[in-house]
Amino acid sequence: MLLFTAFSLAISSFAEPPVTCPGDVGVPGVERAFLGVHGVEPGHVDVWAGSEDDLRLFLSGDREAGKRIEQGAAMLLKRKHAQLTRITYHDETETWTFVTLDLWNDAPFGAAPTGPAPADPGGLVSAWQEYEARGWALQRAGGVRPVKDCGALHCLFGFAHPELASYRSRFDEGVPGREEAIGEVLVRDPDPERRAAAAFLLGHSREPAVVVPLLLRGLTDGSSKVRNNVLRVSGQIASRDASFDPAPFLRALALPVVTDRNKALVALATLAVRDKAVARSILRAAPDEILASLALAQPNNRDAALEILRAASGRTDGSCDVDRWKRWVRACETLAWQDGCGD
Task: Judge whether residue 125 has pLDDT over 60.
Answer: yes
What pLDDT shows up at residue 152? 94
What pLDDT shows up at residue 44? 61
* Model pLDDT for residues 86-100, shown as the tens digit of each residue: 988 887 788 889 999
**Mean pLDDT computed over every residue of the chain:** 88
What pLDDT shows up at residue 43? 54
Higher pLDDT, 2 or 311: 311
Distance CA 181, CA 190 (A): 15
Task: Judge whether residue 111 has pLDDT over 50.
Answer: yes
Average pLDDT of 5-20? 59
DSSP 8-state secondary structure symbol assigned to residue 48: G
Task: Judge whether residue 117 has pLDDT over 90.
Answer: yes
Instruction: Find out whether 200 and 231 touch, Cβ atoms under 8 Å.
Output: no
Question: Which band of pLDDT confidence, cut at 50, 70 and 90, is reported for residue 6?
Answer: very low
Task: Judge whether residue 320 has pLDDT over 70.
Answer: yes
Among the ranges given (5-9, 196-200, 265-269), the one the predictor scored with the smallest mean pLDDT: 5-9
Q: Where do the structural domains in the chain lie, given as residue ranges? A: 7-104, 121-249, 257-343
Average pLDDT of 92-112? 86
What pLDDT shows up at residue 66? 92
Task: Judge whether residue 16 has pLDDT over 80.
Answer: no
**CA proximity to 257, closest of 87, 96, 95, 97:** 87
Question: What's the one-letter identity of residue 121?
Answer: P
The contacts of residue 245 (CB under 8 Å, 6+ apart) are none
Bridge partners of 101? 37, 84
Q: What are the angstrom distances between the C-alpha of 135 and each of 52, 94, 146, 159, 163?
A: 36, 25, 9, 9, 9
Question: Which band of pLDDT confidence, cut at 50, 70 and 90, is reported for residue 3?
Answer: very low
What pLDDT shows up at residue 13? 57
What pLDDT shows up at residue 8? 53
Distance CA 54, CA 60 (A): 10
The contacts of residue 224 (CB under 8 Å, 6+ apart) are 6, 8, 257, 259, 260
What pLDDT shows up at residue 90? 81
Average pLDDT of 231-247? 90
What pLDDT shows up at residue 334? 86
Task: Judge whether residue 2 has pLDDT over 60.
Answer: no
Among the ranges given (146-150, 267-271, 282-286), the one the predictor scored with the smallest mean pLDDT: 146-150
What percent of the chain is predicted at pLDDT more than 90? 55
Q: What is the pTM of this model?
A: 0.87
Average pLDDT of 247-274? 92
Radius of gyration for the alpha carbons in the chain, expressed in angstroms and rounded: 21
* Model pLDDT for residues 131-187, shown as the tens digit of each residue: 999 999 998 888 888 888 899 999 999 999 999 999 999 999 999 999 999 999 999
